[in-house]
Amino acid sequence: MLRAAAILFFTFCTQGALAQALSTSVGNFELIEMAGGLDTPWAVGILPDDSFLVTERDGNLLYVKDGEAKAISGVPKVAASGQGGLLDVTVSRDFNQSREVFLTFSKPQKGGAGTAVAVARLSKNGTRLTNLRVIFEAYPGGSGGRHFGSRVVEANDGTLFVTIGDRGDAPQAQDRSNALGSVIRINRDGSVPSDNPFIGQADIRPEIWTYGHRNPQGADLDARGRLWVSEHGARGGDEVNLVKPGANYGWPVISYGTHYSGEKIGEGTSKPGMEQPRLYWDPSIAPSGLMVYSGDMFPEWRGDIFVGSLKFDYIARLSGDPLREVEQIKGPETERVRDIVQAPDGAIWFISVGQGAVYRMSVKQ
Is there a contact between 219 and 209 (Cβ–Cβ < 8 Å)? no
Answer whether 120's CB lies under 8 Å from 130's CB: yes
d(CA 209, CA 186) in angstroms, rounded, equals 9
Write the CB contacts of 5 (distance below 8 Å, at least 6 apart in sequence): none
Instruction: Report DSSP letters for 109-169, one per residue.
Output: ETTEEEEEEEEEEEPTTSSBEEEEEEEEE-SS-BSS-------EEE-TTS-EEEEE--TT-
DSSP structural state of residue 131: E
The verdict on whether 259 is a catalytic residue reads no
Residue type, 315: I
Quote the CA–CA distance of 356 and 9 in Å, as a whole number. 12
Give the C-alpha separation, 351 to 357, whole Å.
Answer: 6
Cis ω for the linkage preceding 193 (within 30 of 0): no
Radius of gyration of the chain from its Cα atoms, rounded to whole angstroms: 19
* CA–CA separation, 10 and 196 (whole Å): 43
Beta strands in 176-215 (DSSP E): 182-186, 208-211
- Helix or strand run (H / E) with residue 362: strand 357-362
Do 339 and 308 touch, CB atoms closer than 8 A?
Answer: yes
Determine if the peptide bond prior to 150 is cis (ω within 30°).
yes
Query: Which residues are annotated as catalytic?
Result: 147
